[in-house]
Amino acid sequence: MNKKISASLAGALLVVGLGIAPAAPAATAAAPYCGITWGSVADHSAGMATAQLTNVRTGQHSCYDRMVIDLKGKVKGYDVRYVNAVYTEGQGKHVPLAGAADLQIVVYAPAYNGSGTPTYNPSNRTHAKNVAGYRTFRQVAFLGSFEGQSSFGLGVRARLPFRTFVITGPGNTSRLVIDVAHRW
């Protein structure tokens, strides 16, 4: 019997009530969540900058949560990775983060100008941004700025895929963007 007749016969038998149904179509591989193909391994770019960290923003998207670090000048280097714990710059004090995984973000740029005046100084360093209600982010902590680099601890719900990239402009500004997916 050819396949076309078999499928028709099985469909007719089901209609008649004999309980025989046509075969289900072959399974296909599941597509990645939201088309995301990121991973969870460290991402870095070498190079120190004369840029100065000026602000940090967060936002929610349908497939990921986003953190944006604004700089006056060009981002030249960064290091973003999952770690067992995060520590303050210079002093090395442990900063516990909410969530099941800690993402450490180091930007090779200071959060102060040439005379040592802070260019970024949140009123609450352990909760630098309010991320209550976010699907993935649990806490954003500013770990400080020391010897030309600035660090953040990002507490996330779980060790999830992330990506980092740099946006330049407008003018002499740039942004380091960190996206963390809501799930694998």
Distance separating alpha carbons of residues 26 and 143, to the nearest angstrom: 52
For 124-139, what is the mean pLDDT?
98
| Identity at 91, one-letter amino acid code | Q
Taking Cα atoms as reference points, which of 49, 34, 46, 36 lies closest to residue 175? Answer: 49
* SS3 state of residue 33: helix
Q: In CATH, what number is assigned to the domain containing residue 115?
A: 2.60.40.3500
**Same domain, yes or no: 60 and 86:** yes
**Same domain, yes or no: 8 and 76:** no
Helices (H), the chain: 3-16
**Same domain, yes or no: 6 and 84:** no
Q: What is the extent of the structural domain holding 96?
A: 33-181
**Same domain, yes or no: 23 and 44:** no
**Same domain, yes or no: 128 and 89:** yes
Residue 30 has pLDDT above 70, yes or no: no
For 84-93, what is the mean pLDDT?
96
For 101-119, what is the mean pLDDT?
96
Q: Per-residue pLDDT tens for 34-88?
A: 989 999 999 999 887 789 999 999 999 999 999 999 999 999 899 999 999 999 9
Distance separating alpha carbons of residues 178 and 105, to the nearest angstrom: 9
pLDDT given at position 26: 52
**Same domain, yes or no: 94 and 128:** yes
Residue 136 has pLDDT above 70, yes or no: yes
**Same domain, yes or no: 163 and 176:** yes
**Same domain, yes or no: 23 and 53:** no
- Give the length of the chain: 184
Q: Which of 8-12, 55-59, 95-99, 170-174 has the lowest mean pLDDT?
A: 8-12
Distance separating alpha carbons of residues 167 and 174, to the nearest angstrom: 6
Distance separating alpha carbons of residues 104 and 23, to the nearest angstrom: 50
Residue 174 has pLDDT above 90, yes or no: yes
**Same domain, yes or no: 15 and 67:** no
Count of domains observed in the chain: 2
Token couple for 171: 């003018």
